Structure 1
Amino acid sequence: MKLYVIVPLCALFTLTQQAPSSDKCTCELTNSAKAFPHDKLSTVEDNASKCNSNITPQKTLELESLLLGLERRLPQLQEDVSMLEREDDGELYAVLSLYVIENELLEIKQLIDRLNSSTLGHQRLTSEATKQLEDLSAEMQELETYDTMKVVKGQQDNHRLQSDLDQCRKKLHPTIQSTQPPQGNCPHGQLQNITGPRVYTAGEYPGSYKYGAWGRDPKPEAGKENWYWLVMMTSGNKYSNYVRLYSSLSALIVGVSIPGNVQIDSSNPTTNTIQGPNVVLYGEALYYNCYNQDAVCRFNLTSKTVNTLQLPKGTRFNSKGNFCHLDECYPFTDLDLATDESGVWVIYTTTQDFGNLVLSKVEEGEPLTLSQTWHTSVYKQGVTNTFMACGVLYATRYINKDVEEIFYSFDTTTGVERFNIGILINKMSPNIYALNYSPVDQMLHAYCDSYMVSYKVLFS
């Protein structure tokens, strides 16, 4: 009797479990649109990134620098050959002149060799880039077909409309010319803009010395009007014991220093050797921060003698008053030496000035003296560099890795300070460690992470 009851209950339980549930519903969704090719988009982005990394302003500027060097070297060669033809005495003068011309021809040959190599590389790069751009364009057009909501097309239309609106506003509201009076007693007028870079080169030691400075002597000896100088921090990015000379811009670019090094001392660092990158050459003498002193050193390249100028009490040195921006400070930039049309200047800070920039004029006589001092209201550690032009102090600040801004000026003639200069410098490297103005050709020479870069200064 018990067995009869159990069997039907088991059968009933099995049937209940196998029956479909009444509260479940299944439906099938079919998408008629094509699936978006995320893999293809990722490939396009990677190709575009590679294209951007292959084509950089540096590659173009390298070629322009070589051409500029050649452009300046050929007239010099022509002039030297003409002089030899006029004054050839058939003896010692002719031998020396031929030796000079031989060296010039060697430099020109090296320039041409580098030009040929760069040109072939650029042609190959152009051909590859053209093909890559054509492929990218075709792929982007294909990807745009997936924009069924016309979002991308709407953004493009809005961009065109915004451009047209901006053009219309410019026509209705023309730019008002500045009414600021000319600054300083400057034969060129007021500084208006910085253009370039005009020169971009790694020189002899690409990537070897991060800190340094370079430029031209505004008061050279006869026969050295076209020479350039270079100082690199060769010991721990802080110190140096020599200045390196080049007979021309092309010699600097190709890395041929026939004059070679002029050594201050055989040891580095030691008493009176160079501390920090902010140095200048003026009247065949190198001005710089003396090693471990709050003083300016002047090294005479001819006599190989050093004179020192003690700065006011409280002057910050040994990396206590550096140029800085938010991410870093530039070590041992306490003293910044500068040249302009009137001579040599030193920019520094003191404890009495609470870290604000102080500007003093350096007199050339014996002994070295400071003729006049000005006190500013701009904080030195908010500045990345300074330079002088026509008696006006200019200060720069870091905007980003691509842009530096000349934001401040102090006119030593009128005493007027301005914080709204707003002139932008397009950088080739993130940091400018030294900035020197050359009154010879109104160029601004920058030393940037071991590269030498120059800009044209435009005056009104």
Structure 2
Amino acid sequence: MSSLIHHEALRNPPAVGPVHCHPAGKNKDAPSDNCVCEFISSEKSFPYDKLKTAQDSASSCTKTITPQKAFALDSLLLGLNRRLSQLEQDVAVLEKEDDGKLFGALSLHVVENELTEIQQMIDKLNSTARESKQLSEDMAQKLGDVKEEMAELEKFDTMQVVKRQQANQRLKRDLDQCMNNGVHGTIKPPEPTAGTCPYGQFINITGPRVHTGGEYAGSYKYGAWGRDPKPEPGKESWYWRVMLTSSNRYAHYVRLYSTLSSLIVGISVPGNFLIHASNPTTNTIQGPNAVMYAGALYYNCYNKASVCRFNLTSKTVTSFDLPKGTRYNSKGDFCHLEDCYPFTDVDLATDESGVWVVYTTTQNFGNLVLSKVEESDPPKLGKTWWTSVYKRSVTNTFMACGVLYATRYVDQNREEIFYSFDPTTGKENFNVGIHINKVMPNILSLNYSPVDQMLHAYCDAQMVSYKVLFEAMGNTFTY
């Protein structure tokens, strides 16, 4: 059989290179039943050094162009627009009330100061624009070089694997365009029951994508921010923020922003929505773990084991009690080995299916308890699940596609999503192993946004967001 195979190879040698055969053994002239073939490939060896150079160039481009640089021009333009509006107001006051004496001189001095500051902003805008233009030109040149290198490397793809992948990507893009062109209006993603996710399994997290202190950079260490998963019409791009303005414990208003750019530069429009004139008092927000859903803010009621819902349209507050034995007033906080986060007993969360509440009770020995909030009027506590993870070993929780995730503190630069609980199956996983790269040591609240699959973190007065990656990220849904 061996002899037949070798002789068949002789009659039909591979096209990629010559084959030289001789009888096996030291004496090539001696007769033998076996034949040994020497295969010499005519293909060139793959230039791995060129591939490494292309990879390094692409990585350099990625590190050079950061989200912060992309937001710089937008932020400056928004700030300049705001200052120009203020200048118009100051000039109007000067024209109206100029008495030709001391008051007029003072008003004119204010206008001069405004003009000086505006000129400084224009100079900075021009400088940033020039830097961005130069950066774009440099990146275009580098990307052109990388494209040429990759075109040369593709010549080694004799089996045309890359070409098939590119063809598949073009087909997928064309299919997506056809689907989008055939749909009228905006498609809302399905609201899955717990444990069923239209995007597949949560597999990783990337970022940070956004990092800003807003208008109060460095102030108000505790708070929360995010997007409404079920916004009212016309408010789809709005963001909200809650800052604990009293003793890192209380807040009595929620602050709204019409766009992400407005939030980054600190321009609050439409502004604050006041829950109560005094703080703290009845219906005050207690703790940083608030969420927004369907035009209402959900939070831990002041000095109670209860959840409050503040309707921003009607300016009314309704509430419901948590089970007897629920820990509150900083008796069941999120913690790590060195510290605990005060008044984090009750954590609210949102996902594709609605609002959830995470807490702990004496009956469950301090372990996490998860309950679904029913959107009735007033709201009420729905189905409840008990877990076996101790709450004080957890630093934060959030919900994504009907699954509960918990984090723990690793060091000042990393947080780990280490635990998950699926309410549908009751399955717990203590080895999720997804790390979050932090910009500040402490993550004081986490909110998942199903609108864009972003995870919003409030970190020591900084607002940071991360992209949540699922198995089937090609299945994109938008509100």
SS state at 2:125 partner: helix
SS state at 1:218 partner: coil
Query: Which one-letter code corresponds to 2:214 in the other structure?
Result: G
Q: How far 1:64 moved relative to its partner?
A: 4.2
Residue equivalent to 2:69: 63
Alpha-carbon distance in 1 for matches of 2:126, 2:390: 47
Cα shift readout 1:106-140 (whole Å, capped 9, x = no counterpart): xxx99x969838949999xx9xxxxxxxxxxxxxx
For 1:2-81, list aligned pairs within 5 A: 62-66=68-72
Residue equivalent to 1:279: 290
Of 220, 237, 245, which aligns to 2:256? Answer: 245
Cα shift readout 1:290-323 (whole Å, capped 9, x = no counterpart): 0000000000001110001100000000000000
Residue equivalent to 2:55: none
Q: How far 1:187 moved relative to its partner?
A: 0.3
Give yes or no for contact 2:73–2:129 (8 Å, CA) kept in 1: no
Is residue 412 of structure 1 aligned with residue 418 of structure 2?
A: no
Is residue 300 of structure 1 aligned with residue 311 of structure 2?
A: yes
Residue equivalent to 1:316: 327
Q: How far 1:366 moved relative to its partner?
A: 1.5
Of 392, 412, 419, which aligns to 1:401? Answer: 412
Cα shift readout 1:352-382 (whole Å, capped 9, x = no counterpart): 1111000000011112111100000000000
Structure 1 residues 117 and 235, CA, compared in 2 at 3 Å: closer, same or farther?
A: farther
Structure 1 residues 226 and 351, CA, compared in 2 at 3 Å: closer, same or farther?
A: same
Of 369, 381, 385, which aligns to 1:358? Answer: 369
Give yes or no for contact 1:64–1:199 (8 Å, CA) kept in 2: no
Is residue 218 of structure 1 aligned with residue 229 of structure 2?
A: yes
Is residue 457 of structure 1 aligned with residue 457 of structure 2?
A: no
Cα shift readout 1:164-192 (whole Å, capped 9, x = no counterpart): xxxxxxxxxxxxxxxxxxx9200010001
Superposed CA RMSD in Å reads 2.7
Structure 1 residues 184 and 307, CA, compared in 2 at 3 Å: closer, same or farther?
A: same
Give yes or no for contact 1:66–1:115 (8 Å, CA) kept in 2: no
Of 196, 201, 205, which aligns to 1:194? Answer: 205
Alpha-carbon distance in 1 for matches of 2:304, 2:127: 45
Alpha-carbon distance in 1 for matches of 2:331, 2:243: 21
SS state at 1:221 partner: coil
Is residue 331 of structure 1 aligned with residue 337 of structure 2?
A: no
Query: Which one-letter code corresponds to 1:455 in the other structure?
Result: Y
Alpha-carbon distance in 1 for matches of 2:128, 2:297: 37
Is residue 227 of structure 1 aligned with residue 233 of structure 2?
A: no
Give yes or no for contact 2:275–2:310 (8 Å, CA) kept in 1: yes
Residue equivalent to 1:116: 125
Is residue 257 of structure 1 aligned with residue 268 of structure 2?
A: yes
Name segments (4+ residues, structure 1) moved above 6 Å: 67-71, 112-115, 120-123
Structure 1 residues 122 and 427, CA, compared in 2 at 3 Å: closer, same or farther?
A: farther
Structure 1 residues 236 and 440, CA, compared in 2 at 3 Å: closer, same or farther?
A: same
Query: Which one-letter code corresponds to 2:228 in the other structure?
Result: D
Residue equivalent to 1:375: 386
Q: How far 1:62 moved relative to its partner?
A: 3.3
Alpha-carbon distance in 2 for matches of 1:115, 1:188: 43
Give yes or no for contact 2:223–2:243 (8 Å, CA) kept in 1: yes
Residue equivalent to 2:437: 426
Alpha-carbon distance in 2 for matches of 1:317, 1:65: 40
SS state at 1:204 partner: helix
Query: Which one-letter code corresponds to 1:313 in the other structure?
Result: K
Cα shift readout 1:370-410 (whole Å, capped 9, x = no counterpart): 11000000000000000000100000000000000000000
Structure 1 residues 231 and 398, CA, compared in 2 at 3 Å: closer, same or farther?
A: same
Query: Which one-letter code corresponds to 1:300 in the other structure?
Result: N
Identity across the alignment (%)? 70
SS state at 2:264 partner: helix
SS state at 1:393 partner: strand
Q: TM-score, normalised by structure 2?
A: 0.61
Structure 1 residues 401 and 122, CA, compared in 2 at 3 Å: closer, same or farther?
A: farther
Give yes or no for contact 1:386–1:394 (8 Å, CA) kept in 2: yes
Cα shift readout 1:224-280 (whole Å, capped 9, x = no counterpart): 000000000000111000000000000001111120000000000101110000000
For structure 1, list consecutive stretches of 5 or more residues without a partner in the other structure.
1-56, 72-108, 127-182
Alpha-carbon distance in 2 for matches of 1:314, 1:323: 17
Give yes or no for contact 1:204–1:254 (8 Å, CA) kept in 2: yes
Give yes or no for contact 2:73–2:128 (8 Å, CA) kept in 1: no
Structure 1 residues 432 and 65, CA, compared in 2 at 3 Å: closer, same or farther?
A: farther
For 1:89-168, list aligned pairs within 5 A: 116=125, 119=128
For structure 2, list consecutive stretches of 5 or more residues without a partner in the other structure.
1-62, 78-117, 136-193, 472-479
- Stretch moving more, 433-442 or 365-374: 365-374
Alpha-carbon distance in 1 for matches of 2:441, 2:375: 35
Indicate the structure (1 or 2) with the bigger Cα radius of gyration: 1
Cα shift readout 1:136-174 (whole Å, capped 9, x = no counterpart): xxxxxxxxxxxxxxxxxxxxxxxxxxxxxxxxxxxxxxx
Alpha-carbon distance in 2 for matches of 1:414, 1:234: 41
Aligned length: 308
Residue equivalent to 2:477: none
Structure 1 residues 298 and 416, CA, compared in 2 at 3 Å: closer, same or farther?
A: same
Structure 1 residues 114 and 320, CA, compared in 2 at 3 Å: closer, same or farther?
A: farther
Structure 1 residues 424 and 418, CA, compared in 2 at 3 Å: closer, same or farther?
A: same
Give yes or no for contact 1:330–1:433 (8 Å, CA) kept in 2: yes
Alpha-carbon distance in 1 for matches of 2:71, 2:413: 20
Alpha-carbon distance in 1 for matches of 2:124, 2:211: 14
Alpha-carbon distance in 1 for matches of 2:221, 2:69: 22
Alpha-carbon distance in 1 for matches of 2:234, 2:68: 28
Alpha-carbon distance in 2 for matches of 1:281, 1:263: 15
